Chain A
């Protein structure tokens, strides 16, 4: 493993495969808690911790965990780290705990973490998996903080709790759910354009369907038409639920 590999894995999560803005995973906490920038930062930090730790442990155990029960095994590891984070936040940052509420324990079922465990940590070395967790966590944190910042600034007239000086009158709808969806859609559009511009090798004709997903290279269910057997079908169903994570979790 060269340093370039590590760097590439880290940068991957920041923009090209940003879990929120490119893979559109974990949208539920994204929409729910980004009413303030500090919430986004707290949620991002907590999730990054769980992501890095669970990626390391799952990568260490990847030859031990039997394939058939890997999803329950992953979830147990993730839930363990989520519990640790929850207890730490409750003890030392009660304000953040209050703001994040139910979404803190729900990190367990955040599909980014399960998705990275399935798609990356269970088939890569420990170092690379840790790097992937860091990159994905950084991308998640950046997206959440940006979205929280925009919504807080426009909707409440503050940024990280500090008033911006009364230049922009608060537009309440930005801190309401409708504004959350609006800002989310705008950010997805902007990152899509940005990633397109930065990627010089991007094909002129955009692929459609499964091939258009940034995850398609590592997603097992993206493999076209296998032999139609019941056994095969079962595996494909399993991986698709893990690899793609299914929108709102």
Chain B
């Protein structure tokens, strides 16, 4: 009897889901958008995705060996980071630059801070931002979709948000925006594929729909209030990709529903501020990264009350 009573700390029950399975679900959810990007932008899109994934996996593998830590490349989180990074790059980007983005994402943002679960911001987004700051010309050359294999030296044109920023007319119909027939980053254009993936993740209970819903809703309401076309703002840029796949990253988003709502609303607010008032046409990546950094504060402010305790209000709120 004595030996059967084991005293240990919680959790005592495990549902059996592990990191690898969750990451596999995310990869399945990403596959429609990946297929759409290959259809829209040709073999070049597939090449960018493969290079990013390979660079991320190699970075993860090598840095775990150099750091003398248990190998984690098998949990597939590096693959997810690689795919997300590729989704945030234009199809015309030189492949060695895409590889640098993968190294920055995994080595600098993830492994230097302790590996999976310890990254303080989304690795793929920092990879994109570093590339944007390093190679602004290559990162802003948008290939027009559906040119077959001519992407690299073919037609280039402004993204919908860029033409709006310059005060131009929107040259794309809502149907085109939904299907993704517009210039833009690899994975962000096909809204239907992204929504399909998001639906899968929600059904599989990998993510809660709260963050994407509040994020997109905030952008919709704010752009509508500011007199912009809210539908265009929702259907263009990286909003759907960011809301479904980037802002929902476990390590860099709050745990509680209240915290999630605050976080997502902040993402939406910053996105609209950058898009409407900022000098950049698109601000989803910066909005998410800034809110990532604020997550510890949001968690502190939204800590749930233990049963039977009274909420301690700050002095200036008490009367």
B136 lies within 8 A of A172 (CB): yes
B133 lies within 8 A of A182 (CB): no
Interface string of A169-189 (1 = CB under 8 A from B): 101111010100010000000
Closest CB in chain B relative to A187 CB, distance in Å: 15
A172 lies within 8 A of B135 (CB): yes
The docked-state distance in angstroms from the alpha carbon of A128 to that of B276 is 62
Interface string of B83-100 (1 = CB under 8 A from A): 000000000000000001
Look across to chain A and name the residue whose beta carbon is closest to the beta carbon of B108: A182
Tell me if B261 is interfacial: C-beta within 8 Å of chain A.
no
A-B contact count (CB 8 A): 16
Look across to chain A and name the residue whose beta carbon is closest to the beta carbon of B130: A173
What are 16 pairs between A and B in contact, CB < 8 Å?
Answer: A169-B135, A171-B100, A171-B134, A171-B135, A172-B133, A172-B134, A172-B135, A172-B136, A173-B130, A173-B133, A173-B134, A174-B134, A176-B133, A178-B130, A178-B133, A182-B108
Closest CB in chain A relative to B21 CB, distance in Å: 35
The docked-state distance in angstroms from the alpha carbon of A217 to that of B135 is 47
Q: Which residues of B contact A (CB under 8 A)?
A: 100, 108, 130, 133-136
Which chain A residues border B133 with CB–CB below 8 Å?
A: 172-173, 176, 178
User: In terms of DSSP, what is the predominant structure of the interface of chain A?
Assistant: helix
Which chain A residues border B134 with CB–CB below 8 Å?
A: 171-174
The docked-state distance in angstroms from the alpha carbon of A173 to that of B135 is 8
Closest CB in chain B relative to A150 CB, distance in Å: 15
Which chain B residues border A178 with CB–CB below 8 Å?
A: 130, 133
The docked-state distance in angstroms from the alpha carbon of A182 to that of B133 is 14
Closest CB in chain A relative to B173 CB, distance in Å: 37
The docked-state distance in angstroms from the alpha carbon of A101 to that of B88 is 38
The docked-state distance in angstroms from the alpha carbon of A223 to that of B314 is 39
The docked-state distance in angstroms from the alpha carbon of A178 to that of B134 is 11
Which chain B residues border A172 with CB–CB below 8 Å?
A: 133-136
Closest CB in chain A relative to B197 CB, distance in Å: 31
Q: Known contacts A171-B100, A173-B130; can you find 10 more A-B pairs with CB under 8 A?
A: A169-B135, A171-B134, A171-B135, A172-B135, A172-B136, A174-B134, A176-B133, A178-B130, A178-B133, A182-B108
